[in-house]
Amino acid sequence: MKVVCIDMSSPLHGKIPVGAELIRVNGHPVADEIDFRFHNTENRLRLEFQVGGETVTVKLAEAACGDLGLQFEQSKILVCNNNCIFCFVHQQPKGMRRSLYVKDDDYRYSFMHGNYISLSRLTEDDYKRIIAQRLSPMYISVHATDDDLRRYIFGNKNLPPIMPALKRLTKHGITIHTQTVICPGINDGDQLDKTIVDLASLAPKVASLAVVPVGLTRYRDRLMKLRRFTPEESAAVIDRVARYQKGFMKTIGTRFVFPADEFFLMAGREIPSLTYYEDMPQFENGVGMAREFMVGFNRRRRYLPKRLKRRLKLAIVTGRLAEPILEQQVMPILGKIRNLEATLAAVDNIFWGKTVTVTGLLTGGDIASRLTGADADVILLPPNCLNGGDLFLDDMTLDEFTRRVNRPVLTGTYHIAALIRQAAMMGEQ
């Protein structure tokens, strides 16, 4: 692994140069960052680096576990060899940044970042490593436990059976979180029943299952014809899952299976209470995010000012899916703040298609177009519109967006009370 950065406080600063290749830790070969972290837990370390064709050995006594102030070049990602019928990468237009076309199916990123994988790329050595290094929890896309149906969904006739793979991992103590992205008429109904029952039979090591509706964009030319769930079908999925949840609470002590927030919003159902989601095992999968946002907002309401010094017009951007939550839960409260005129700017997703309603898939261009002519002093963006480099999905930068809307823009947190105060200060400038 190539070292790309060394902190000034690192015990290795001055002993090795940036660009050195870490090859062994205490005699163990190091292939990636997981190997490094697994083997550097001892108090005494013997690190071997390749520097300009020579091996440089550094010994550390009483070394602290962790990264030792080193940053490494990113390992090459294992890409997916499936051809899923609903693959989002295949539903994108040409000309976007390369990272958006990467189909990750890397067990290391599943362990480190919670990425969902299919297990189709795992070799025998990979299984042995996951077990030996206790790479747990893992996040696995199941979609169906019927193997023929699963191969059809993944577009991979060589996909190995899923239940033996899960049993092997759980038998050796690996905790697994699972998901099934369901399509109307394909892996819902009786097939969803089978998937839920099969996976729950491996609890508690298979710790949770998220049921997620298929996401479809307008870029599906020459792809299999699929459709979204109707409101009535969304309600039926919620009710089907609820029957299993009731039984699982009695038999395994957890609801185990959770519908994504999107089902409740599509069905027009009330979002469940925070306790429904237990310890939020599927939060990053859009399960419980809506309730967490509402609870967080209500907890912080007391920090909202009763009045602003000067009149402020604030436009709050959201996607269509979250629009009812903000309209019902947030806007009435903001409406009580004197001198604050807050409006909700719900954005239709023209880029991907209006069937894509989540806020995190809005582009800078669509948001900017929606705000053209908007009567606002400050724009409030949800943080999931931008990546870590302040780029929208269409590669528009935050600076470009700010210039286009020609107004101050706030983003970066869901703490609306703090943002209101910040917006007020910006409005006074």
Dig out the tokens for 408 from the structure.
């101050």
Whose CA is closest to 404, among 376, 372, 359?
372
pLDDT in tens, 35-87: 988 888 877 889 999 998 899 999 888 665 567 888 988 888 888 999 999 99
Can you tell me the distance from the alpha carbon of 45 to that of 64, in angstroms, rounded to the nearest whole number? 10
* CATH code for the structural domain at 300-428: 3.40.50.2300
pLDDT in tens, 100-127: 777 889 999 999 999 999 999 999 999 9
Can you tell me the distance from the alpha carbon of 21 to that of 36, in angstroms, rounded to the nearest whole number? 12
pLDDT in tens, 193-210: 999 999 999 999 999 999
Can you tell me the distance from the alpha carbon of 420 to that of 412, in angstroms, rounded to the nearest whole number? 13
pLDDT for res 427: 55
Q: What DSSP string runs through 135-192?
A: --SEEEE-S-SSHHHHHHHHT-TTPPPHHHHHHHHHHTT--EEEEEEE-TTTTSHHHH
Number of other residues whose CB lies within 10 A of the CB of residue 158: 9
pLDDT in tens, 242-267: 999 999 999 999 999 999 999 999 99
Residue 173: which pLDDT band, with cuts at 50, 70 and 90? very high
Dig out the tokens for 249 from the structure.
């609470």
pLDDT in tens, 340-373: 999 999 999 999 998 899 888 899 999 999 998 8
Residue 319: which pLDDT band, with cuts at 50, 70 and 90? very high
Residue 241: which pLDDT band, with cuts at 50, 70 and 90? very high
Average pLDDT, integer, range 169-184: 98
Number of other residues whose CB lies within 10 A of the CB of residue 399: 10
On the question of pLDDT at 414 being above 80, the answer is no
Cβ contact 294:325 at 8 Å: yes
Residue 97: which pLDDT band, with cuts at 50, 70 and 90? low
* CATH code for the structural domain at 89-287: 3.80.30
CATH 3.40.50.360 fits 3-72, yes or no: no
Residue 128: which pLDDT band, with cuts at 50, 70 and 90? very high
Dig out the tokens for 73 from the structure.
């070049």
pLDDT for res 404: 94
Which pTM was predicted? 0.88
Residue 389: which pLDDT band, with cuts at 50, 70 and 90? confident
Helix axes 189-200, 231-251, angle to 10 degrees: 20
Can you tell me the distance from the alpha carbon of 262 to that of 355, in angstroms, rounded to the nearest whole number? 12
pLDDT for res 93: 80
Number of other residues whose CB lies within 10 A of the CB of residue 240: 18
What integer best gives the mean pLDDT of the chain?
91
Each domain of the chain, given as residue ranges in start order, spans 3-72, 89-287, 300-428
Can you tell me the distance from the alpha carbon of 177 to that of 242, in angstroms, rounded to the nearest whole number? 19
Dig out the tokens for 308 from the structure.
């602003």
Which comes out higher in pLDDT, residue 416 or 184?
184
Dig out the tokens for 331 from the structure.
């806007």
Bridge-based pairing of strands 3-6 and 206-213 is unpaired
Can you tell me the distance from the alpha carbon of 241 to that of 250, in angstroms, rounded to the nearest whole number? 15
Can you tell me the distance from the alpha carbon of 363 to that of 354, in angstroms, rounded to the nearest whole number? 12
Average pLDDT, integer, range 144-173: 97
Q: What angle do CA 57, 60, 62 make, to 5 degrees?
A: 165
Average pLDDT, integer, range 403-424: 80
pLDDT for res 183: 97
Average pLDDT, integer, range 169-177: 98
On the question of pLDDT at 429 being above 60, the answer is no
Dig out the tokens for 289 from the structure.
């995010």
